[in-house]
Structure 1
């Protein structure tokens, strides 16, 4: 049988209001009495009734997050940050993974809505007016991360284009003359939401144009290693391979090592994200630090602010800073 606040009150010889103040750390109670109540709750194995609490507060004290998958270490780092920050605010987290499928994403959102989450953090693969109207129909606070939808939605991310342009400009300053750009998700251009990938590509192209360099080879498919195998990098002008995320860069680095190339003597490599496993990689990968933990923290902070106070945190705070990391691979 579930132990209630009334049971604890009777056990301690105090009122139910006193027990409530002790359990919820509210003022108006002596410290000695508070400790007595907390010890009684522990002894009696009291567990809060979250259903009753949600009826009182008008909230379930849960948030939902919709991500592609957890294969990319950046997403795992993000999820950890979101869960910790949500818990700090007293919220539990529902996790839904779409596998980058547009219909799966809608099913994930509906699942979260059916479980009455108070708000959703969305890394969307969908886009467009019809999809946005679909989201509005839920009347649930939603914050978008990474992939931008429109100005109608609160967004947390970084200036993707400027970050890539800055990183490539650093590399051009090192004397590289030829460039290969690898971003398999670009094959979905016009089909799904690949905002981050498109912005990074534009930043790359702008960096080249600013330095009067010819357009690079752009690889938009998963067989990028087969493409690289046909190239003799020792017979080319000084070449850098720019990857739209660290995972591709690590695959390229491993592949080139197996072919006997020296990095960066024969070819340079740059990634994007600064995933946590890079500390184990030699040579150290040159990359752009994507502040995933800060993005997770800010998304939760702004979402909870909307849920509890009726407004998101001002948009000036939603575009976070990045950092170029000069590793040894360039």
Structure 2
């Protein structure tokens, strides 16, 4: 059983308050007494009772992070950024993954609330008025990232529609005559919160309209999207494959290489996210970049502002740009 402040006080012949001042580096105690108390605490391996401290101060110095998975490298980068920024601000992060389960997401939120986290950063898959009422009842600061709920909640993201619109126009200006768009999450339209992917699809169609591109896109929503490519004659016209994230683009690149299809000689390829592993890929992938580390830092900043001031704010969207590679 760990040593308590009361026991340290008895061993040192001082009051409970004197021990508390020594351990928390507060004034009102002589240097000699402080050194004596700290030595006894160290010798007996004293560990502070964070739960008791949190009840006394009304804060646990912890935040929750709820994501559906870490398979996409950009999610891993985002998580790392959130953890690093939180640690610098003297907060600990409790990460929970939901595996794209609506019920598991709710269980994760309740788990965090029951453990008195000071706030939650949420990448939601649930949506709608009922879910928002569910969140409001906990009275816990929440910042949403990537998938937006409504303007009631602080939101961190990019202008996905404009980013994809610009990317598609960039592709069309390269002289491509047909577009294949790979985005398996679109299969969950109307079922799950896929705000980011829906905005990227809107941007795809908008970019084509702005360029008066008459050819209808081939939109692949099958989770077995590589298998679906077997049913498309990729050499019929000068075709560009646009992927809603780099993860799909890298899998597609491997498929094309296995088929002996040259990139970009036979077919063009565009990704989205500019994940860090692209520096190892040949040919260099053309993609859409946004600063995912900035996104994580901003999410923590906005959440802590809510915690400190109860102020719900949504900062400007993260800037984006097209990174020209060798795949178009």
| TM surpasses 0.5 | yes
Deviations 1:209-241 (A, max 9, x none): 1111023111121232233223443341x2110
TM-score in terms of structure 1 length: 0.89
Corresponding residue SS for 2:235: helix
2:230 is aligned to 229
1:24 to 1:213, Cα distance in 2 relative to 1, 3 A = farther
Deviations 1:124-162 (A, max 9, x none): 111111111111111111111110000111111111111
Question: What is the deviation of 1:22?
Answer: 6.1
Matched, 1:219 2:217: no
Q: Is this contact kept in 2: 1:155–1:318, CA < 8 A?
A: no
1:244 to 1:300, Cα distance in 2 relative to 1, 3 A = same
Q: CA–CA distance in 1 between the matches of 2:105 and 2:16?
A: 45
Q: CA–CA distance in 2 between the matches of 1:189 and 1:99?
A: 17
> Following superposition of structure 1 onto structure 2, how do residues 248-259 of structure 1 map, counting pairs within 5 Å?
248-259=248-259
Greater shift, 7-16 or 111-120, is seen at 7-16
Q: CA–CA distance in 2 between the matches of 1:305 and 1:199?
A: 28
Q: Is this contact kept in 2: 1:272–1:290, CA < 8 A?
A: no
Question: What is the deviation of 1:35?
Answer: 7.9
2:298 is aligned to 298
Q: Paired residues, what number?
A: 327
Question: What is the deviation of 1:171?
Answer: 1.8
Matched, 1:209 2:197: no
Matched, 1:154 2:165: no
Question: What is the deviation of 1:309?
Answer: 2.5
Unaligned runs of 5+ in 2: none
Q: Is this contact kept in 2: 1:69–1:99, CA < 8 A?
A: yes
1:184 is aligned to 184
Q: CA–CA distance in 2 between the matches of 1:24 and 1:212?
A: 67
Unaligned runs of 5+ in 1: none
TM-score in terms of structure 2 length: 0.90
Q: CA–CA distance in 1 between the matches of 2:34 and 2:296?
A: 35
1:5 to 1:218, Cα distance in 2 relative to 1, 3 A = same
Question: What is the deviation of 1:32?
Answer: 9.7
Q: Is this contact kept in 2: 1:66–1:108, CA < 8 A?
A: yes
Greater shift, 40-49 or 53-62, is seen at 40-49
1:110 is aligned to 110
Q: Is this contact kept in 2: 1:63–1:91, CA < 8 A?
A: yes
Deviations 1:158-194 (A, max 9, x none): 1111111122222222222211111011011111111
Question: What is the deviation of 1:290?
Answer: 3.5
Matched, 1:320 2:318: yes
1:133 to 1:204, Cα distance in 2 relative to 1, 3 A = same
1:200 is aligned to 200
> Following superposition of structure 1 onto structure 2, how do residues 237-256 of structure 1 map, counting pairs within 5 Å?
238-256=238-256
- RMSD in angstroms over aligned alpha carbons? 2.6
Corresponding residue SS for 2:147: coil
Greater shift, 205-214 or 223-232, is seen at 223-232
